[in-house]
Amino acid sequence: MAPMGIRLSPLGMAVFCLLGLGVLYHLYSGFLAGRFAFFMLSEPAAGGPEAPHGSAPGGAVDLRELLAVSVLAAVRGGEEVKRVREGNVLNAKAKGKTREGAEEQLTTGDLLSNRRMFYLLKGAFPAVQINSEERVDTADQETVSWDHSIPEDIKQKIQPKEVPAESVTVWIDPLDATQEYTEDLRQYVTTMVCVAVNGKPVIGVIHKPFSSYTAWAMVDGGSNVKARSSYNEKTPRIIVSRSHAGKVEQVARQTFGNKTVIIPAGGAGYKVLALLDVPEKNQEEADVYIHVTYIKKWDICAGNAVLRALGGHMTTLTGEEISYTGSDGNEGGLIASIKMNHKALIEKLPDLEKTSHK
């Protein structure tokens, strides 16, 4: 019974309780909403994956971040390549033959570089497709983390740019010029990463492990490398694979004259750098890069991106653009140039396209 004979009506009690609940709601609703939001951001949804690092909301990736990780991956892979070579523990073996019948070599340097590069990129951008020259053994998985730092030169030259993750394909070459690597011709060896968006190469990284030089560029972004000031279009210096020098020399000299110089070299990365202004003591200079047979896309994608970023060209021998989706091979050979009339070069060398199918 209520004191002093006062009777409490059920309606009054209900109103009193509702007022009390209203006061409590206003006092704590903000706090509870904030804790709920924190919980949702901190914990992955039940049964769902955690939001990947390097990815923005909506399944997008920032190309500036991807460039930073690509540079780091090329350098880390290069450390493995250099360590194996200097320790002379190559364990070289044949992994197959090229279409021309030459043995393709596989070394410990290829495998360790590939593992380091692949898992660094995959850990930072798990939603992005990654194609590599070497097979990735999931039983030999390695945890390689990225600290989200972006080098100052990239910060200064490149603005953030997001693209859908499903539009991106990353091509890794963990050791370019493996044959020359086994012969201890170190100047030709590179590690490379390329990023293609909708099949077009937009980021290229070429790293030389034995001199610690790295060239990078992003289309419509910036670069840390530039083209040379002059090129010889009348009698160009043409850089080619060591095994292809004889095939190219006769046609090139018939076209450009006997003063044309043919430069045999190893590694697609090295050959692209030969077209650029590279401060390297052992780097040769050339005006045109030609390859007359089938070549894998991880060999050429990074160089293609760098040339595109600097206003240059890399096409098949018939002038077709090379798409970096689908199969991992390019059937039509290639011709690469910068600050030259690329179309005119193609028209001058019509017989090389026939050579590419031999």
**Burial letters for 230-255: b for 16+ Cβ neighbours within 10 Å, e otherwise?**
ebebebbbbbbbeebbebbbebbbeb
Task: Tell me whether residue 133 is annotated as binding.
Answer: yes
By mean pLDDT, which of 26-30, 101-105, 168-172, 240-244 is the weakest? 26-30
> What average pLDDT does range 194-211 have in this prediction?
98
- Which band of pLDDT confidence, cut at 50, 70 and 90, is reported for residue 7? low
Structure tokens, 64:
């500036």
**Burial letters for 65-81: b for 16+ Cβ neighbours within 10 Å, e otherwise?**
bbbbbbbbbbbbbbbbb
Q: Please give the residue that has the higher pLDDT: either 314 or 12.
A: 314
What is the rounded distance in angstroms from the CA atom of residue 181 to the CA atom of residue 269?
13
Catalytic residues: 110, 178
> What average pLDDT does range 257-265 have in this prediction?
94
> What average pLDDT does range 337-348 have in this prediction?
94
Is the predicted pLDDT of residue 350 greater than 90, yes or no? no
Residues 108-121 have pLDDT tens digits of 999 999 999 999 99
pLDDT of residue 31: 39
Is the predicted pLDDT of residue 43 greater than 80, yes or no? no
Percent of the chain's residues with pLDDT above 70:
79
Tell me the chain's radius of gyration from C-alpha atoms: 29
Residue type, 322: I
E-only strand ranges, 234-344: 237-241, 261-265, 276-277, 288-291, 295-296, 313-315, 329-330, 334-337
Average of per-residue pLDDT values in the chain? 85
Query: Which residues lie closer than 8 Å to 98 by C-beta, 6 or more apart?
Result: 104
What is the rounded distance in angstroms from the CA atom of residue 301 to the CA atom of residue 196?
8
What is the rounded distance in angstroms from the CA atom of residue 203 to the CA atom of residue 187?
23
Task: Tell me whether residue 173 is annotated as binding.
Answer: yes
Task: Tell me whether residue 351 is annotated as binding.
Answer: no
Residue 321 is given by DSSP the state B
> What average pLDDT does range 68-79 have in this prediction?
98
pLDDT of residue 16: 56
Task: Tell me whether residue 175 is annotated as binding.
Answer: yes
What is the rounded distance in angstroms from the CA atom of residue 143 to the CA atom of residue 73?
13
What pTM, to 2 d.p., does this model score?
0.82
Residue ranges of the domains in the chain?
60-223, 226-354
Q: Please give the residue that has the higher pLDDT: either 260 or 6.
A: 260
User: Could you give the angle at the alpha carbon of 175 between the alpha carbons of 173 and 179, nearest 5°?
Assistant: 125
Is the predicted pLDDT of residue 65 greater than 70, yes or no? yes
- Which band of pLDDT confidence, cut at 50, 70 and 90, is reported for residue 12? low
Note the residue count of the chain.
358
Beta strand 288-291 with 237-241: parallel, antiparallel or unpaired? parallel
Please state the φ and ψ torsions of residue 133, each to the nearest 5 degrees.
-65, -35
| CATH architecture observed for domain 226-354 | 3-Layer(aba) Sandwich (3.40)
3-state SS class at 38: helix
What is the rounded distance in angstroms from the CA atom of residue 224 to the CA atom of residue 234?
29
- Which band of pLDDT confidence, cut at 50, 70 and 90, is reported for residue 22? low
CATH code of the domain occupying 60-223: 3.30.540.10
pLDDT of residue 348: 87
pLDDT of residue 10: 60
60 DSSP β-pair partners:
56, 164
Q: Cβ of 119: how many Cβ atoms within 10 Å?
A: 20
